[in-house]
């Protein structure tokens, strides 16, 4: 752009400009007056244009140029003020989110840290941490934190990266504390996702694909990937114009989870990365951010074809940075939805937790937005749960577990588990009762006296049978 004012009185005879796109054939351009629009830094941010002055000769005068220049200045001021207003809105939204977070959360208390620090940590075998059939139902809240410590220790992250044990204890307790008590996307979900990542790395044979720094980044990402989750998804944030939606236009919750992770790391006494070199710190934060953002299924759908194509081309080492990023993203998705591959009684319980949380969002959409929720958020359609689970398995879970099992045979239990559960959900959808449902009807109490989760108002219903086949009453 030259920045000059253009007053052209015979458009048809010039060859400097061409008409781009369709125009009304009956409309002829005789004259044009163009004026650049500047911002406060004298950079051109737009162009104001007038066509065909409403006089017989259609010519723009010098006076027109002066008036139009003043108008262009006014436009520049208007655009500048609009941008300033948008920036102010973003800052206000960011401040509101920060105040909201700070008012709700706090770091771990000193006595909590000392108590955890003094407790013995059971072994991997005692916790059964390498098993893809792992269940947290038998663990207390404190034992989930102890099991998390064991994962760090067994992966040699504490020694390799010189993480002070007290700092690790404080950080884990702070992370747990920063999860809200929502039905599903809570601390226990994050812990289970981290346990599956541990199993992929140890039992699944994926350690050879990763550096130790990546391993640490992935475990931390799993534990932090849903921090401060409110029990509602990105779409709900956008529809309600929440402060989070104003702050993050895409992957709203995932960006918030990552930023919240950084906030905890920056809190006094919580930086488990404190002994890393500047380069290591930069790299692990990059892994952490990419891993958490990849738990947005919209990103998974966008990137998985690239991963599948890479595998089909014969790639098995994943040493290029871009290839590794794809692999880490697929690993995060595989871990995030891994409840779908658990033994049937565990999978059934977790499905009820997930849909119970979804139904609560659906209720809020009806109340706050006065609109009908989509099927999976609609408790009026809870009898379609088995059918929706089959769709979820086919669209998201089965492809990634299948390809993982083909490359890394140690991951086969995930593919076998999801295949088995698909059969069970399909049977329920068809109005039948799977054999596994009959075998697991007893629903024993957990070993520590805690009962299995029983969310309200879900129940597993057999489509066509017209009645619940889950023996437990729903509340």
Ramachandran region, residue 269 (left: φ > 0; alpha: ψ -120 to 50; beta: rest): left
Partners of residue 461 on adjacent β-strands: 468
Give the per-residue pLDDT at 82: 87
Give the per-residue pLDDT at 455: 45
For residues 415 and 373, give the distance between their C-alpha atoms in angstroms, rounded to a whole number: 31
Active site (annotated) includes residue 257: no
CA angle 101-107-112, nearest 5°?
145
Determine contact, residues 447/138, Cβ cutoff 8 Å. yes
Give the per-residue pLDDT at 474: 32
Rg (CA), the chain: 29
Q: How many helices (H) and strands (E) does the chain have?
A: 19, 3
Q: Is the pTM of this model over 0.85?
A: no
Determine contact, residues 326/197, Cβ cutoff 8 Å. no
For residues 145 and 34, give the distance between their C-alpha atoms in angstroms, rounded to a whole number: 66
Which of 423, 435, 392, 421 minimizes the C-alpha distance to 133? Answer: 421
**185, 229, 256, 260: which is the annotated catalytic residue?**
185
For residues 468 and 462, give the distance between their C-alpha atoms in angstroms, rounded to a whole number: 6
Give the per-residue pLDDT at 168: 98
What are the average pLDDT values for consecutive 10-residue runs of the chain, which has 475 residues?
81 74 69 88 87 82 89 89 87 79 72 96 97 96 98 98 98 96 97 98 95 98 97 96 93 96 92 97 98 97 95 91 96 98 96 96 96 95 94 96 96 97 95 73 45 45 36 31
């Amino acid at each position: 752009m030259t920045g000059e004012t253009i007053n052209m009185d015979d458009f048809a005879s010039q060859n400097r400009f061409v008409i781009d796109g369709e125009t009304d054939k009956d409309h002829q351009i005789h004259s044009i007056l163009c004026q650049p629009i500047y911002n406060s830094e004298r950079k051109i941010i737009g162009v104001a244009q007038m066509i065909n002055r409403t006089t017989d000769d259609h010519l723009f005068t010098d006076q027109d140029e002066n008036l139009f220049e003043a108008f262009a200045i006014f436009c520049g001021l208007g655009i500048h003020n609009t941008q300033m207003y948008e920036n102010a809105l973003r800052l206000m939204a960011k401040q509101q989110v920060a105040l909201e977070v700070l008012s709700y959360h706090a770091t771990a208390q000193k006595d909590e840290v000392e108590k955890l620090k003094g407790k013995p940590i059971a072994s991997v075998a005692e916790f059964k941490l390498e098993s893809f059939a792992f269940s947290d139902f038998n663990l207390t809240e404190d034992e989930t934190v102890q099991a998390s410590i064991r994962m760090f220790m067994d992966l040699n992250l504490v020694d390799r990266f010189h993480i002070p044990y007290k700092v690790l204890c404080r950080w884990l307790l702070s992370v747990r504390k920063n999860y809200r008590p929502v039905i599903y996307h809570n601390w226990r979900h994050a812990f289970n996702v981290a346990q599956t990542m541990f199993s992929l790395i140890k039992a699944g044979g994926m350690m050879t694909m990763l550096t130790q720094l990546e391993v640490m980044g992935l475990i931390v990402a799993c534990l932090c990937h849903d921090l401060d989750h409110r029990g509602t998804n990105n779409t709900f944030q956008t529809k309600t114009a929440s402060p989070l939606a104003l702050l993050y236009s895409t992957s709203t919750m995932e960006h918030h989870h990552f930023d919240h992770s950084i906030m905890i790391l920056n809190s006094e006494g919580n930086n488990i990365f404190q002994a890393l070199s500047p380069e290591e710190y930069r790299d692990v934060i990059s892994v952490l951010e990419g891993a958490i953002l990849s738990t947005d299924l919209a990103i998974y759908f966008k990137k998985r074809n690239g991963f599948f194509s890479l595998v089909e081309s014969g790639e098995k080492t994943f040493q290029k940075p871009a290839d590794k990023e794809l692999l880490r993203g697929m690993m995060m998705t595989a871990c995030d939805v891994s409840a779908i591959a658990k033994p049937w009684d565990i999978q059934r319980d977790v499905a009820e937790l997930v849909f119970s949380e979804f139904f609560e969002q659906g209720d809020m959409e009806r109340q706050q937005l006065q609109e009908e929720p989509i099927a999976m958020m609609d408790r009026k359609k809870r009898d379609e749960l088995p059918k929706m689970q089959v769709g979820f398995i086919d669209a998201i879970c089965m492809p990634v577990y299948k390809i993982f099992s083909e490359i890394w045979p140690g991951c086969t239990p995930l593919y076998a588990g999801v295949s088995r559960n698909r059969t069970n959900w399909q049977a329920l959808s068809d109005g039948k009762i799977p054999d596994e449902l009959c075998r697991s009807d007893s629903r024993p109490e957990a070993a520590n006296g805690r009962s299995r989760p029983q969310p309200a108002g879900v129940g597993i219903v057999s489509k066509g049978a017209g009645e619940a086949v889950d023996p437990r009453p729903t509340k």
